[in-house]
């Protein structure tokens, strides 16, 4: 319901109260950083708006009329409520604006976060987003230490001291260069063959490596073979496979385009699938900033699932 036209503006009420408290229009004008004539004009407009004479001019200054005294008491309540409203609005701005410190594992940072940031850009206009990209172990450490407000990881477990929410799922698959012998096989690759193979791998501490080693360990009759090479990001692993260095077990998110164009080949391993959860993590018992909650909700709604 719209306010009636007789309701005064807050700035005019504020000036009126200053006149009452200072005892003069000139003193109130100085307090508000305006000229005395401008203050007088505003007071006259206020009186016309409410239909009352609020001040009586005397040789010593200005004093409130009886109507002015009554209105001043209500004006104080209105302005106090306005001040409380401004304080609440400031708290909301601090929650939804300011700074959001993110930490994300490489796969999520490179293949999911850009889309999330793009979709949320209109709602993040007042927020400075900082992103640290590292493997899942480092991301977890940053959140635990308070260096990040929110983390995104794809490991098997979440450390004590953290709360988490599953935001989606991902699959790890075996990929090779089209000229690799596995791409020419007439029979399916056995899990035991994969367990015995030397692979292009992520570094220790990577969520991708942790999930793969957990899944393949029961299939190994002996010690794990040494990796062909250990690389610090999923993009680097993909590049090595594209160069023909060897096979890799990698997120389907990372190689989707290369599989569609035929630059890489997916090597199925019957009865051996590796699915993993993608998680948002934050310090246990600590309420994340509202903008972080918004980020988690959007990530979960995007329904990340294996294609």
Domain range annotation of the chain: 10-95, 100-307
Is the pLDDT confidence value at 100 over 90?
no
pLDDT in tens, 133-191: 998 889 999 999 889 989 999 877 788 889 999 998 889 999 999 999 999 988 889 99
Is the pLDDT confidence value at 45 over 60?
yes
Distances (CA, A) of 195 to 186, 204, 213: 19, 17, 9
Which residue pairs, CB below 8 angstroms and at least 24 apart, start in 254-258? 254/107, 254/110, 254/111, 255/173, 255/175, 256/307, 258/175
Token readout for 196 is 């015995």
For residue 304, give the DSSP letter: B
pLDDT value of residue 89: 56
CATH of span 10-95? 1.10.10.10
- Report how far residue 245's alpha carbon sits from residue 177's, in angstroms, rounded to the nearest whole number: 8
CB 216 within 8 A of CB 172: no
CATH of span 100-307? 3.40.190.290
Give the confidence band of 307 by pLDDT, cuts at 50, 70, 90.
very low
The whole-number average pLDDT for the span 267-283 is: 90
3 state SS of 264:
coil
Give the confidence band of 22 by pLDDT, cuts at 50, 70, 90.
confident
Sign for the pseudo-dihedral over CA of 85, 91, 95, 101: positive
- Report how far residue 210's alpha carbon sits from residue 275's, in angstroms, rounded to the nearest whole number: 12
For residue 221, give the DSSP letter: S
- Report how far residue 94's alpha carbon sits from residue 269's, in angstroms, rounded to the nearest whole number: 50
* Separate counts of helices (H) and strands (E) for the chain: 12, 11
The whole-number average pLDDT for the span 201-223 is: 89
Kindly give the residue spans of alpha helices, DSSP state H, lying in 106-203. 106-111, 113-120, 136-145, 191-196
Would you call 232 exposed, middle or buried from its count of C-beta atoms within 10 A (0-12, 13-18, 19+)?
middle
């Amino acid at each position: 319901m719209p306010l009636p036209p007789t309701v005064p503006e807050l700035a005019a009420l504020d000036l009126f109260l200053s006149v009452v408290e200072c005892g003069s229009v000139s003193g109130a004008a100085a307090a508000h950083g305006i000229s005395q004539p401008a203050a007088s004009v505003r007071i006259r407009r206020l009186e016309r708006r409410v239909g009352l004479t609020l001040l009586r001019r005397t040789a010593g200054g200005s004093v409130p009329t009886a109507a002015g005294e009554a209105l001043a008491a209500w004006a104080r309540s209105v302005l106090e409520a306005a001040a409380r409203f401004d304080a609440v609005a400031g708290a909301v701005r601090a929650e939804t604006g300011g700074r959001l410190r993110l930490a994300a594992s490489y796969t999520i940072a490179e293949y999911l976060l850009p889309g999330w940031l793009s979709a949320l850009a209109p709602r993040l206009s007042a927020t400075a987003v900082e992103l640290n990209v590292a493997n899942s172990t480092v991301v977890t450490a940053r959140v635990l230490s308070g260096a990040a407000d929110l983390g995104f990881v794809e490991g098997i477990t979440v450390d004590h001291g953290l709360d988490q929410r599953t935001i989606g799922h991902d699959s790890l698959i075996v990929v090779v260069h089209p000229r690799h012998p596995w791409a020419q096989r007439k029979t399916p690759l056995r899990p035991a063959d994969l367990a015995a193979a030397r692979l292009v791998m992520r570094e220790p501490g990577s969520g991708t490596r942790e999930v793969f080693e957990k899944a393949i360990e029961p299939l190994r009759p002996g010690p794990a073979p040494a990796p062909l090479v250990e690389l610090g990001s999923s993009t680097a692993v993909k590049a090595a496979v594209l160069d023909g260095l060897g096979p890799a077990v990698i997120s389907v998110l990372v190689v989707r385009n290369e599989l569609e164009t035929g630059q890489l080949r997916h090597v199925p391993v019957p009865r051996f699938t590796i699915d993993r959860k993608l998680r948002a993590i934050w310090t246990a018992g600590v309420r994340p900033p509202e903008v972080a909650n918004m980020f988690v909700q959007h990530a979960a709604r995007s329904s990340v699932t294996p294609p």
